[in-house]
Amino acid sequence: MKRFLLFIFTLLQSQALHAAIRAEFKRPDGSTNWQHVANWSASILILLLTAAVITLFFTWRQARKANRELQTIRNDLELRVQERTATLGESNRLLKQSNQLLEHEIAQHVSTTARLRSSESYIRDILKSMPLMLIGLDKEGRITQWNKRSEDATGIKAENVLGKNLWDAYPTITVSPSQISEAIQKNDATTIKHSQRGQYYYDITIYPLQEQSEPGVVILIDDVTKKILAENMLIQSDKMSSVGELAATMAHDINAPLQSILFDLRTFQHLLADSSQNLNELGNARTSETLKGLLADATEKGENMASIVHNLQDFARGRSNRKQLSNIVDIVEHTLELAGDVLSVPSRLRFKDIQIERIYQKDLPMTPCYVAELQHVLLSLFRHACDALGRVERPGHTPTIKIQMNVGYDNLWIRIEHNGLGLSNEEQMYLFEPFFRKDSPEVKYDASKRLSFAYFIITEQHQGQMAVTSDLNVGTTFHIQMPLK
């Protein structure tokens, strides 16, 4: 466009052009043809305006195109700025989040470190305060742990044994290397009972370390001397209690017929002394019958004593290690028959004079039991009932024992009820307690009336239950529950 304008400008400056133009606008007479000049000027102006319009149009198009490109560039630039800004914001956010996570991890690490230190201190305190000797060993038998109790028991400080071989540092220990190796191989705890001349007792337990990179063991040595001695004393006390109760019971059972025999013999001697002056009186029928009665009574009481001794011998022979399936009705009836032979009270009430009521469920199953022991339990209950019935002084009183047996919930239930003198609350409290108790106050309750041995037989040997309910004016009921399986 600039070249075109320059060309027009140059052309207008041309002298030849000016001469041609003046010649063109002259009339033949030499005057200027202004009409022609005006028309030509208008045409030139129109052409110039047209060229200007065309130029402006193309310039507008170029400007519009440039503006569009500029807008595109601007939009692209803004988009890039937004993307860069967003990327920078996301980076800042991620960086901030990473910093927060890092701070949280650092805080957790600090907290974990503090807890580990606290746990380590806590475990160290536990090891120091343990009442047992604790010795840690690696697979080579070198000592890794030696607690305060080990120091006190051996007199060797931990710093003097750590890292050393156990049997070099403490040669008197009763644990052998083979036992350590066996525990590691089996990967199971091993317990060793050790006694020194029957005066000191130790429980030694070897625990293999199961979740460690290096195999090893922990040895716990517990001095159980006091415990064993206390248990032995308790066992001895229980034995003496059982023997004392059994002896008191047997003495009570034997004393009654023995006193009767002695009474008969004294009466017999008295009659003989009175009749010594007149021998004919010995032939007196009345005296003869009296003497025969005394001898018969003495014989009967002697047989009762023999039955008591025989029953004691049966009981002393012991039992087999396994229970026997037995007919419970036969056991009860045999015990009733035995009680009729051996039981009586100083009031002259004989067991055979007591009314027995039987309420048995039909088809009772065979019961697993120790027959001799169960007979002893039943005989003790019948003896207790006979004594209570003999102390009733009510006129018209009929001594009665009611025996009920039935099955329920896989158990045999036995109820022995009598209408004799009942038990007080204090007597019920001590009825099943052993006779010899150092820790219990003195209770004026005859050993022959206690049932601790019977209670032991039911609860410990037969895994059953035994209880008592009583009323002083009504009587007493003994409840026995025995499992059938």
> For strand 367-369 and strand 355-360, is the pairing parallel, antiparallel, or unpaired?
unpaired
Q: In what order do the strands lie in the sheet with 190-196?
A: 143-146, 133-138, 216-223, 200-208, 190-196
Q: Could you tell me the pTM of the whole model?
A: 0.46
Q: How far apart are CA 447 and CA 433, in angstroms?
A: 10
User: Phi and psi at residue 409, in whole multiples of 5°?
Assistant: 55, 45
Q: How many CA atoms lie within 13 A of 52 on its CB side?
A: 6
Q: At what angle do helices 225-275 and 371-390 cross, to 10 degrees?
A: 50
Structural domain spans, the chain: 23-122, 130-223, 232-483
pLDDT at residue 361 in the model: 92
Backbone conformation region of residue 272, classed left if phi is above 0, alpha if psi is from -120 to 50, else beta? alpha
Q: How far apart are CA 405 and CA 481, in angstroms?
A: 10
pLDDT tens readout for residues 403-453 = 999 998 889 999 999 998 888 888 888 888 765 444 444 445 555 567 888
**Amino acid letter, 197:** R
pLDDT at residue 282 in the model: 44
* Residue 266: partners with Cβ closer than 8 Å, 6 or more residues away: none
pLDDT at residue 418 in the model: 93
Fold of the CATH domain 130-223: Beta-Lactamase (3.30.450)
Q: Report residue 230 as tokens.
A: 């206390």
State the DSSP code for 213. S
Q: Which of 295, 353, 301, 364 is nearest to 331 (CA)?
A: 364
pLDDT at residue 439 in the model: 46
Beta strands in 181-239 (DSSP E): 190-196, 200-208, 216-223
Q: Which of 143, 212, 145 is nearest to 171 (CA)?
A: 143
Q: Bridge partners of 406?
A: 413
pLDDT tens readout for residues 121-131 = 776 666 666 67
Contact 240, 246 (CB under 8 A): no
At 135 the three-state DSSP class reads: strand
pLDDT tens readout for residues 291-317 = 666 666 666 566 656 655 665 555 555
Q: How far apart are CA 349 and CA 88, in angstroms?
A: 112
Q: Which of 304, 309, 313, 399 is nearest to 343 (CA)?
A: 304
Name the one residue in this structure whose structure tokens are 């028991």: 153
Name the one residue in this structure whose structure tokens are 């949280």: 104
Q: What is the CATH number of domain 232-483?
A: 3.30.565.10
Q: In order along the chain (485 residues), what is the average pLDDT of each group of 10 residues?
A: 62 59 65 71 81 84 85 85 79 84 85 78 68 81 84 83 85 81 80 70 80 76 75 60 57 61 66 54 54 63 60 54 86 88 68 90 90 86 88 86 92 93 85 59 55 85 89 90 89
